[in-house]
Amino acid sequence: MERRSLKIGITCFPLIGGSGILATSLGMEFAARDHEVHFFSYAKPVRLDLTAPRIHFHEVAVGTHSVFPCPDYTLPLAVKMEEVGRVERLDLFHVHYAVPHATAAFLAAEMIGDSAPKIVTTLHGTDTTLLGPNPQYHGAIAHALNHSDAVTAVSESLRRQTIETFALRRTVDVIPNFFTPTAATRNREEVRRELGITDEFLVLHMSNLRPSKRIDLLLRIIAKMKQRNRVRLLILAGGSFASAEPLLDELGIRPNVIVRSTAEPVENYVQAADAGLYTSEIESFGLSILETMFFAKPVIAFAAGGIPEVVGNAGSLHKFGDVDAMAKTVDELIESPEKAREMGEAGRKRASTEFTAQKAVPHYEAVYRRVLTTQN
């Protein structure tokens, strides 16, 4: 990358999903490396520290003009990116998700003209796995990817699926997610006491609760356990749990399940847990899994998508849908604290070796350097 400091625009969703967390962490890392970073979103990203030097946030109001039949975000976002990109002379837009973010970046660049920032699009999964097969979105996503100056994916699994889904004939760089753990603001005992946990085995699940996370299977695993009376399941919910409520009573596990929003740092809950349990049927990476590994908690998950690339041999992976095997594994960890400790330590070692900012950020810098030195 050029020695001069860069002006980088980052567009992301502001919630607890992996894309927003990664985008925020990446922007903070670049700001710490003396680059100027401008964030665009409809709300402040939950982990963005606005007091940090060289960090700027531009809130985008969702359009609700009476002319349109429904609210619009893409055009107001494009206008805001054009305005800031032109005035601040940004070097590049790094957008997380093709639609609507890369689409908005393309419109902004068209409005700016010859001096427009380059566009780097990072795919986190939704564009390819959920929206890509839908003909209402397929063409727009393909256009956004083909008109980006660089495209990155968070796993090899996602790269292959993206190329196949959109018949791409361009390079897609694989740059895995990274995570930088921060210190918990409450200790393990305090959190467990607040949750009503004494000597129970606390299993943690963190997700946005979308259908692909298969919360139904998560709950069925708990119901299948032989050691059910000794386990509690803590769900850190980034979405509504209402649709799963009836299943708690149907399975008779309501006393076993605790649901919390993520109003405080997730580190508080991860360090208070004894294991992580993840049941996605579609998962391009699994940042929550990585967070769990960093805190030396054993991970039990279905081997879906890019999850094996994250966990490797440092966790317990099972064929999708095999709730009996998952339940058996949790039972074994309860019965063997030493096995749980060894699995957790293996995960921590893998996470702290393979998925750090020190490894990931230089890869993004290399992509930036490439697009900024390539002539159109």
User: What is the pTM assigned to this prediction?
Assistant: 0.90
pLDDT at 32 > cutoff 60: yes
Amino acid at 335: E
pLDDT at 8 > cutoff 80: yes
- What domains sit in the chain, N to C, each tagged with a CATH number? 7-178+356-373 (3.40.50.2000), 188-354 (3.40.50.2000)
Tokens of 229: 């009376």
Q: What is the mean pLDDT of residues 294-302?
A: 97
Which one-letter DSSP state was computed for residue 252?
T
Buried b or exposed e, range 127-149, using 16+ CB within 10 angstroms: bbbebbeeeeeeebbbbbbeebb
Where are the extended beta strands (E) located within 17-132? Answer: 36-41, 55-59, 92-96, 118-123
What is the per-residue pLDDT for 363?
A: 96
337 Ramachandran zone, left/alpha/beta (phi>0; psi -120 to 50): alpha
pLDDT tens digits, 41-95: 999 998 899 999 999 999 999 988 888 888 999 999 999 999 999 999 999 999 9
Q: What is the mean pLDDT of residues 319-336?
A: 98
Q: Supply the mean pLDDT for the chain.
A: 94
What is the per-residue pLDDT for 376?
A: 58
What is the per-residue pLDDT for 3?
A: 66
pLDDT tens digits, 233-271: 999 998 899 999 999 999 999 999 999 987 678 899 999
105, 11 contact by CB (below 8 A)? yes
pLDDT at 1 > cutoff 60: no
pLDDT tens digits, 158-210: 999 999 999 999 999 999 999 988 888 999 999 999 999 999 999 999 998 99
Specify the DSSP element, H or E, that contains 192.
helix 188-195
pLDDT at 375 > cutoff 80: no
